[in-house]
Every structure is written in C-alpha cells, then in structure tokens.
Copies of this chain bind each other. A is one copy, B any other.
C-alpha cells in the first residue's frame, strides 16, 4: 500500500507492506486525514519521529475479525493505544499509559496511508449524515473539549484564546458551542474574522486585558509569554502547544501572581462527535485544500506555508 513516510525532516510517498491487523485490531481504509501542527512539529524534529505519521482521520472498516459488526462502518478512532494492564488503562485513561503507543506519533503507523490498523476499542462510529470533511476534525475537536473537562468555565468567566491558527480556531468553535464567548488574539485579520464567525470576540470588544482563563494555542515558543501577559492574578493558562525544545518561562510571574498552568492534550471523542453530529459546527470552513496521497509532498508544503489553515489528504487517490 502507499503511505506518507517521514524521515530526517523529509516527506516522501512510498510503498509499504500491507498492514497486518492483530486479533484485537480493525483494518480501516482511510478516506480523509488531516495534517496537524504536531505533524509539522514531527518534521522539525519533535519526538525523534520517523515512519508513517497521521492521527486525524476518517475511514471505513474493512476487516474486524473479533467484532465483525464493525465491518463496512464509517469510523474515526482515538489514537492512544494503552498496555491494557496498568492503573491508567484500568481506569480507561489510555492516553496516560506509560507504555502507550500513539497512532502516527509513537510506535504505531499512522493514517497518512491507504489503510491503518487501530484497536477495535479505539473506534467511534461517525454519525449518519456527517461528511468526512467535518468528521476528520473529531480528534482536534476532542482535544479542544479536553479543556472543558479540565477546568471550570462559568458564564461570567472571561476567556481568551491566544493563537488564531487551526487549533486556536477549533478551540474557539468548541468554546462557543459550549456557550462561551472567547476573545481571540492572533496576527492575521482573515483568521480573526473566521474566529468571529465561530463566535469569538475581537480583542477590542472585550474591555480589558486581564482574563480569567487564557488558552495558549499558538504553536510557537513565544506563546506562553503572550498568554502570561493576558491572564489575571490567580487566573488559569491552558497550554496546548507542543514544541521540540524547552521554553524560557517567567516562573516568578507565575508564583507572584499565583497563576495556574494546565497542560492539555487529547480529549473525549464522544463529546466531539456529538457536537459535530448536531450540525451546529462547521469546521470544514477551515479546509484550504484536499490533496491526493500521491501529492502529499505538495500537501505538506501547503500546510507549512505561513498562515495555512487545514490541509487534508485523500488516501483513496
């Protein structure tokens, strides 16, 4: 089968052996896959990755030996594959299993390929009528919903999103869906307009600069300083950016103003799919292009270009 291959900072499309699902796995024919900021970070050296990336995807189950009812169904899947035995896995929190593999990120081939295997336990059916170009946002939207699982946002809570890239905009969409009105800070007027379209406020609308909650989604090492500048004493900064290197942080500001920093990663797929299924969310307006797998090199070039929003791959072509 054809697959995207990352090695030493370069992208190529190559033939790889057919995936061989284990007994607990499903073999999924991928119909859409999204290029994420983390994929671009992998290319820059994050996590010393080489292999097949891709962790946001939609497809159709082709084989599922243990639970054949899944065969033929349209699915997306959670990407953390736990050991199944540790205390995290026992509580169903496989995303923190120390021995976990992560599809397209660690120890398991990803979805930038015609087929991918994932454990049956990771599958989620896609609501009828939800098109692939929306459903492919389930993973990043789940990551955005994670914020609402971690911290308490009340109607009166003043929330800011720092970063108007694709993750910042997905977070804006999810917060608005949950009834909040985040103020969005970014550097691109077109994207800030999109943020408004999704229910975000412009900085000028919101009165002052001291927010109760600031969500850092810039993807840049300068993001934390931006976020700390905008949070009030005893406020909370939610961190979403992963970077290949450590970052200089004014921890004295954190101590003196008793700020809370909360790292935030993967989230609840059911909540994301329910929100997408409601029809009230339109993440596909973020899609700037859909490339056949054979043109993956161009797709990554597009995704890496300054200010690019969502770029999808269509591995059927």
Where the two chains meet, the residues of A that have a C-beta atom closer than 8 Å to any C-beta of B are: 46, 88, 96, 98, 150, 224, 233-234, 239-244, 246-265
Contacts and interface: CB of A to CB of B under 8 A. Distances in A.
Nearest to A243: B252
A242 B224 contact: no
A166 to B, nearest CB: 17
A296 to B, nearest CB: 26
Interface centre among A246, A248, A250 (most CB of B within 10 A): A246
Q: Is the interface of A mostly helix, strand, loop or mixed?
A: mixed
Contact of A254 (B46, B248, B256, B263): B263
Given A241-B251, A243-B251, A251-B246, A258 B224 contact: no
Nearest to A146: B258
A52 to B, nearest CB: 20
Contacts of A233: 88, 96, 98
Contacts of A240: 255
Given A96-B233, A96-B258, A257-B96, A251 B265 contact: no
Contacts of A248: 246-249
B246 A224 contact: no
A147 to B, nearest CB: 11
A241 B254 CA distance: 10
A258 B254 contact: no
A247 B247 CA distance: 8
A120 to B, nearest CB: 25
A58 B262 CA distance: 38
A135 B265 CA distance: 45
